[in-house]
Amino acid sequence: MESDLVLVIVVATALAFDFTNGFHDTANVVATGISTRAVPPRTAVTGAALLNFVGAFISLEVAATVASGIVEADLITPTIVFAGLIGAITWNLITWWYGLPSSSSHALIGGVVGAAVAAEGTQALVSGGLLGKVIVPALIAPVLAFAVAGLGILLAYRIIGRLRPGSVNRGFRLGQLASGGLLALSHGTNDAQKTMGIITLALIAHGDISPDDFHVPTWVVFSAATAIALGTYAGGWRIIRTLGTRIIKMDPAQGFSAQGAGATVILASSHFGYPLSTTHTISGAIMGAGAAKRLSAVRWGVAGNIVTAWVLTIPAAGAMGGVVYGVTRIFGTGALGPVVVSILVIGLIGAIFGRRFREAPGPPPPIPVGES
Amino acid sequence: MIATVVDWAALRDVVIASLAAGVGVTVAFSLAIMGLTRFAERRRDDRPLEAWAYAGLAIAGLAVSGTAVVYGIILMTSK
């Protein structure tokens, strides 16, 4: 009975995390299309939410990696998964407070790894899983997206350079309907699967699924898809209000190239089960498209912040996950620990948001690149 | 250690697929736009042969772009 309560808390926390992931990442998915006027804001946000939902059903490779490729599923308990999630949420709140462009995906994986190591030691880690399936691919993806977008736009400019801008811009705006849609689809595919993987890991830990018979239940896919789509839709309205003040100024050809590069890198990585930071990958693609036209178009300071956040996130979220696991275990192995920690975290989030919104109406979302 | 735990073959495939699809679609779509724009210009200038050649380029560019996107999605869902 107590373990059932812990499982319910874990599933609810994971879905809440998925919702905030969609909410936070809406800017990355729709900003390029809106800023080049390829899509009206309302259509962009609604379309992105729908395609996030559909994208979650495309593949389960990333979910399999998160559930069984990084930590030893048979050593994990629902409390470890809970501590990992709370560690990730705590790190996300800290980076949000200080304006660091950190990755929710890295925080999630770091949190679970940290909690697992705190509970079971390093034997809880799949040998080489974190390095081979998370760290190295996550390092390559933004650089690859930068190169693909940069090379693509350089070649495109050679082809369209002598044409009248009016017809070229109209053409690429139409193309952005497809490339933006593909980007939203890829975002749903990679990010929703991380939540599916975490919930599946909790179900394995609870004994509902055998580690030897890995599968993601349909209700898990559907609920994760719904949570990220609702988050994207809810986050979008905030973006619409702020886009007028901090906009990425790109031409439609750059937007097409950036969206296409981001989508192809995320989709190809998802195909092989790599849980990427979609934020960092899309940022890399936008920077590549901007740098190919003019190096000074890129806010290199923001790029430096991304690198800093990249280096810090997994160890810091891991430390948070470990600490949360330790705090939870003070209350024993039952449901009391997760219940107490949940109440504390909800109170902390309420206090942080209350203070932030009393001080200021809220910062605009960090948009990594562009000529402002 | 990195050499043994990283699946370099899979990462190589990710790099090749991303470069081929990302750059390829942008180039193909740019050719389609160039074809359409030149087609309209040549038709206005009453140069039908050139106009239809550019129309062919536009159709080929659009076909390559569309096929690449559809093939990519089919590949994703088939695994």
Backbone angles phi, psi at A110, to 5 degrees: -60, -45
Q: Does pLDDT of A308 surpass 90? A: no
When CB atoms are compared, the residue of B4, B18, B34 closest to A148 is B18
Compare all CA atoms of chain B with the CA of A185 and give the residue at the minimum distance: B73
- Average pLDDT for A49-78: 89
If you average pLDDT over every residue of chain A, what do you get? 85
**A19-63 residue pLDDT tens:** 988 887 787 788 888 888 888 888 889 999 999 999 999 888 889
Residue A370: its pLDDT value, please?
A: 41
pLDDT band for position A128 (cuts 50, 70, 90): confident
ipTM computed for the complex: 0.92
CB pairs under 8 A between A and B: 132
Which is higher by pLDDT, A148 or A299? A148
Domain that includes residue B36, residue range: 20-78
Q: Is residue B12 part of a domain?
A: no
Amino acid at A303: A
- The residue of B11, B30, B34 whose CB has the most chain A CBs within 10 angstroms, and thus the best one to mutate to test that interface, is B30
Residue A369: its pLDDT value, please?
A: 45
Q: Is residue B7 part of a domain?
A: no
When CB atoms are compared, the residue of A168, A185, A270 closest to B33 is A168
Q: Is residue B32 part of a domain?
A: yes
Which residues of B sit within 8 Å Cβ distance of A?
1-2, 4-7, 10-11, 13-15, 17-19, 21-23, 25-27, 29-34, 36-38, 40, 65, 69, 72-73, 75-77, 79
A7 close to A336: Cβ distance less than 8 angstroms = no
Q: Is residue B74 part of a domain?
A: yes
Q: Is residue B13 part of a domain?
A: no
Q: Does pLDDT of A368 surpass 60? A: no
pLDDT band for position A245 (cuts 50, 70, 90): very low
Residue A347: its pLDDT value, please?
A: 87
CB spacing of B22 vs A149 below 8 angstroms:
yes
C-alpha to C-alpha distance for A302 and A298, rounded to whole angstroms: 9
Residue A238: its pLDDT value, please?
A: 62
Taking the model in full, what pTM does it have? 0.87
A12 close to A201: Cβ distance less than 8 angstroms = no
When CB atoms are compared, the residue of B4, B5, B29 closest to A175 is B29
